[in-house]
Structure 1
Amino acid sequence: MNAWMRRGLIAAVVATAGVAGVWFGQSRQPQLTETAMTDAARLEALNLADANGQPMPFSAWRGKLQVVNFWATWCPPCREEMPAFSRLAEKYRDRGVHFVGISIDNADNVRRYLQEENIAYPLLIGGSDAIQLSADLGNAAQAMPFTVIFSPDGKIVERKLGTYKEEELEAILLARLR
């Protein structure tokens, strides 16, 4: 085999490997499927209560950019990011951004947490239905914190397992508000 044929063969192998890498990388990314879109509607249909037992329907926040955070009082990373979420909720409330926390915890623990921290957005009690919903929305690990951002028309535009840095989340919100 001459040098030109060898170079051509190497180039073909490299190109094939590159295409395969892109294809496999994309296939492993969570896809926004029709099921996820159905779950966005299911989220809106939820009628969860806050820690005081007051029903808080998601349908009340229709048409807003929604940041939905699945959390628990016993989750240190969850508690770590909530003050930043609270600051951003206050800062962007008048621009059509709405934050809501869905606790995988009980109402007593959430009430105690609210006595320690001043949170500027609703904290709802989710239970086992919320655990399943977070999985349906892309949280295959069923770990926390898990955050999903919905566009005003109810489509999932971002989701993240793990904590958001305040600057990171603010950049996402600003990009969506433009």
Structure 2
Amino acid sequence: MTETLHSPARAFGADSPLAYLLDLADQASGAPSDQEQRDDAETAAAHHVYQAYAYSLAGAVDAVAWQGYPAVREAGGRRWEASAVAWLDGGLWLHHTLRVTEADGASDVLTLIVPCTCGCGYVDIGLDSEDVLIDILTELRPTVGRSPHDDRDPLDCASVKTVPYIGHIGSPGSWR
């Protein structure tokens, strides 16, 4: 059997009742679009910062500073939840996502991404509270926002030097 199967041509108009009903079915499937995921990630990040970091980050990071990204899927499931990042200047970033588990539900995860003093990469620092943030910033102040380590010992550098392979997004070691 050498027949090739083709998708049938659409036998109805774009403004027909059937087209309307099929669009409703797509919307009811419950899967948010990439743009909805981006918007939700930005909103969740801004909300978390305003609630949990009211005396520090909320005054420094505007709600519109967040850039959302959709969830990364691999083999039919989610590998990472949707997330948002905010540029803090000087090479520092904030990254926000939700950690979703059956036992705990959704919890906010805020990470400060800091360049290394050697210039070879970045170090990610999990932020649990405003007090932890202030402690980290106090440690980073002498190095002007760089993650300190002994430059004489290359093994002392804990920075991430390459971008990890993320399924279908790119090949290992590439950005996209």
Q: Compare the two structures and name the one with the higher helix fraction.
A: 1
* Higher RCO (C-alpha under 8 Å, 6+ residues apart): 1
Q: Which has the higher strand share?
A: 2
TM-score (norm 1): 0.26
TM-score normalised per structure 2 = 0.27
Which has the higher Rg, Structure 1 or Structure 2? 2
